[in-house]
Amino acid sequence: MRASLLHSKDIDKQMWDRLVAESPQGSIFIETGYLDTLLSNDWSGIEVYEDNELIAIMPVLIKKKWGFEYALQPTMSKYWGVVFAKKAYSGTQKEFSFKKDVLAAAIDCIPKGLAMFNYNFHPDFDYALPFFWKSYSLRTSYTYILDTRGKTESEILSNYSAQLKNSIRTAQKNEITIIRDNSGSALLKILDENRKSGKTILDPGYYEMLDRIINNGSKNGKGFSLTAVDKNGEEVASSVYLQDSHTVYALIHIMAKVFSKTDALSLLVHKAVLKATSENCKFDFLGSTIEPVEAFNRRFGAKPVSYLNISKKSRLLRLFGK
């Protein structure tokens, strides 16, 4: 078993993406097309081989600040961490012994002397002890996932809370229309208007990155944007969703502050859920520990699903309380 850290230009991207597509831990956030779009082709990855077979990968992004090197997960990339190739195991003992060896090899490839390492691992990553034994910290967080596969619209609605159903009806009475908006202009406009009124959801420095994600997603079928428009043609809410072969992910959705009473956001997300249903996909709200956001996600009947944040700080940062 051997592992190496390679720059993206030296990675066989077809082989990488094939592993991601078949892996239980695979998601669009680790597909090379999304990584290239997000990071302008400037990223690296750990690859673990057994003989000539690629058996695990992990994207890595190293940045420098004040002379220190950091491996921090970039904004708009929910799940990173180690991704195992799909594999049949003859028993539980063999499965986790194999994963232990793979993770040991991958961890040894993480650059030494990092000031900080901090990644969210996929909900289906199920063996973190090798990180713990190497003095990494493990913290549990939550997303909300709605399994819409094979459901009808009436079945989806029956699982919604009464409050959410009322919100959807209110939006419909307010003559809110949901349109496909691949330009992303409405989303960026609402983000900036809310920021100027004191409600910042995303730093303006990320607007260009978000615009790239929207444009590339609309071209390659890996994402879409929905916008809610009122009867006067005003754009009152907007959103971006990413999509792979099994899941639609709510990357960002936002309501114009001045139109909050229209309840347009509830109808907008409902339409995105129905889109996931039509594609036979699950719907991942991508979670939040902020109580009002968690409450909004829960109203859709989604289940809380845990995932691990794995991190490590240098002694120097711990000493200064950073």
Extents of the domains making up the chain: 2-135, 145-306
Cα-based distances in Å from 230 to 239, 259, 271: 15, 9, 15
Q: How high is the pLDDT of residue 188? A: 87
Cα-based distances in Å from 93 to 52, 96, 160: 24, 6, 41
Q: Which residues are CB-neighbours of 232 under 8 A, at least 6 positions away?
A: none
What single letter denotes the amino acid at residue 305?
A: V
How far is the C-alpha of 17 from the C-alpha of 57, rounded, in Å? 10
Residue whose entry in the numeric block shows the structure tokens 């902020």: 290
Q: How high is the pLDDT of residue 199? A: 77
How far is the C-alpha of 129 from the C-alpha of 136, rounded, in Å? 9
* CATH topology for the 2-135 domain: Aminopeptidase (3.40.630)
Beta bridge partners of 71: 62, 117
Residue ranges in the chain modelled with pLDDT below 70: 315-322
Torsion of the alpha carbons at 218, 221, 222 and 225, rounded to the nearest 10: 40
Q: Quickly count: other Cβ atoms within 10 Å of residue 223's Cβ.
A: 24
Q: How high is the pLDDT of residue 316? A: 60
Nearest to 172 by CA among 257, 272, 271: 271
Report domain 145-306's class. alpha beta
Could you say which DSSP state residue 181 is in? Answer: -
200-222 residue pLDDT tens: 778 888 888 888 999 888 888 89
Q: How high is the pLDDT of residue 126? A: 95
- Rg (the chain; Cα; Å): 21
Q: How high is the pLDDT of residue 261? A: 76
Q: How high is the pLDDT of residue 36? A: 95
